[in-house]
Amino acid sequence: MISFFHNGYDVLMLVDAHAIIYRAYFALPPTLTTPDGMLVNAAFGFTRILLAAIADMKPTYLSVIFDHPEPTFRHRQFPAYKAHREKMPEDLIAQVGLTKQIVESLNIPQFEVEGYEADDLIGTLSRQATEKTVIVTGDQDMFQLVDDKIHVWLPPRGKHPADEYDREKVYQKIGVYPEQVINMKALMGDSSDNIPGIKGIGPKSAIVLLQHFGSLTGIYQAVSELEKHTDILKGALLKKLQEGKDNAFLSQKLATIDQHAPIELDLESCKVTGYDKEKVVKLFQELEFRSLINFLPNDEFETSIQESLF
The per-residue pLDDT for range 265-283, each reduced to its tens digit, is 999 999 998 899 999 999 9
Give the pLDDT score at 45.
97
Same domain, 242 and 286: no
Same domain, 11 and 61: yes
**Partners of 134 in the β-ladder:** 13, 151
Q: Which of 96, 109, 146 is nearest to 257 (CA)?
A: 146
pLDDT tens for 73-91 read: 676 776 666 656 667 789 9
In a domain, 304, yes or no: no
Instruction: Say how many residues make up the chain.
Output: 310
Give the pLDDT score at 1.
53
In a domain, 222, yes or no: yes
pTM of the model: 0.91
Same domain, 53 and 42: yes
pLDDT tens for 122-139 read: 999 999 998 899 999 999
Residue scoring higher pLDDT (187 or 2): 187
Model confidence at 32: pLDDT above 60: yes
Same domain, 52 and 126: yes
Question: Which of 38-42, 158-162, 239-243, 293-297 has the lowest average pLDDT?
Answer: 158-162
In a domain, 83, yes or no: yes
In a domain, 300, yes or no: no
Please, what is the average pLDDT of the chain? 90
pLDDT tens for 221-266 read: 999 987 677 788 889 999 999 999 999 999 999 999 999 999 999 9
Same domain, 32 and 113: yes
Exposure class string for 287-305: b at 16+ Cβ within 10 A, else e: bebeebeebbbeeebeeee
Q: What is the CATH number of the domain that holds 159?
A: 3.40.50.1010
Question: Which of 11-15, 51-55, 79-83, 98-102 has the lowest average pLDDT?
Answer: 79-83
Please give, one letter per residue, the 3-state secondary structure of 176-216: CCHHHHHHHHHHHCECCCCECCCCCCCHHHHHHHHHHHCCH
Q: Which of 188, 192, 185, 197 is nearest to 85 (CA)?
A: 192
For residue 251, give the amino acid letter: S
Same domain, 41 and 86: yes
Same domain, 155 and 278: yes
Q: What is the CATH number of the domain that holds 192?
A: 1.10.150.20
What CA–CA distance (Å, rounded) separates 206 from 202?
A: 6
In a domain, 306, yes or no: no
What CA–CA distance (Å, rounded) separates 116 from 113?
A: 6
Bridging pattern class, strands 163-165 and 61-65:
unpaired
Same domain, 185 and 228: yes
For residue 66, CA distances in Å to 114, 119, 159, 217 come to 10, 9, 28, 33
Same domain, 147 and 289: yes
Confidence band for 202, pLDDT divided at 50, 70 and 90: very high
Same domain, 91 and 226: no
- Determine the structural domain holding residue 273 and report its residue range: 5-169+258-293
pLDDT tens for 139-156 read: 999 999 999 999 999 998
Give the pLDDT score at 245.
97
Q: Which of 308, 300, 283 is nearest to 44 (CA)?
A: 283
pLDDT tens for 15-31 read: 999 999 999 999 999 99
Give the pLDDT score at 158.
77
Give the pLDDT score at 193.
81
What CA–CA distance (Å, rounded) separates 281 from 293?
A: 6
Model confidence at 306: pLDDT above 70: no
Same domain, 69 and 213: no
**Residue 57, number of CB atoms within 10 A of its CB:** 24
DSSP-based three-state secondary structure for 26: helix
Once rounded to an integer, what is the mean pLDDT over residues 93-100? Answer: 96
In a domain, 299, yes or no: no
> What proportion of the chain, given as a percentage, has pLDDT over 90?
74
Exposure class string for 136-162: b at 16+ Cβ within 10 A, else e: bbbbbbbbbbbeebbbbbbbeeeeeeb
pLDDT tens for 104-118 read: 999 999 999 998 999
In a domain, 39, yes or no: yes
Same domain, 151 and 89: yes
Once rounded to an integer, what is the mean pLDDT over residues 23-43? Answer: 94
Number of domains in the chain: 2
In a domain, 49, yes or no: yes
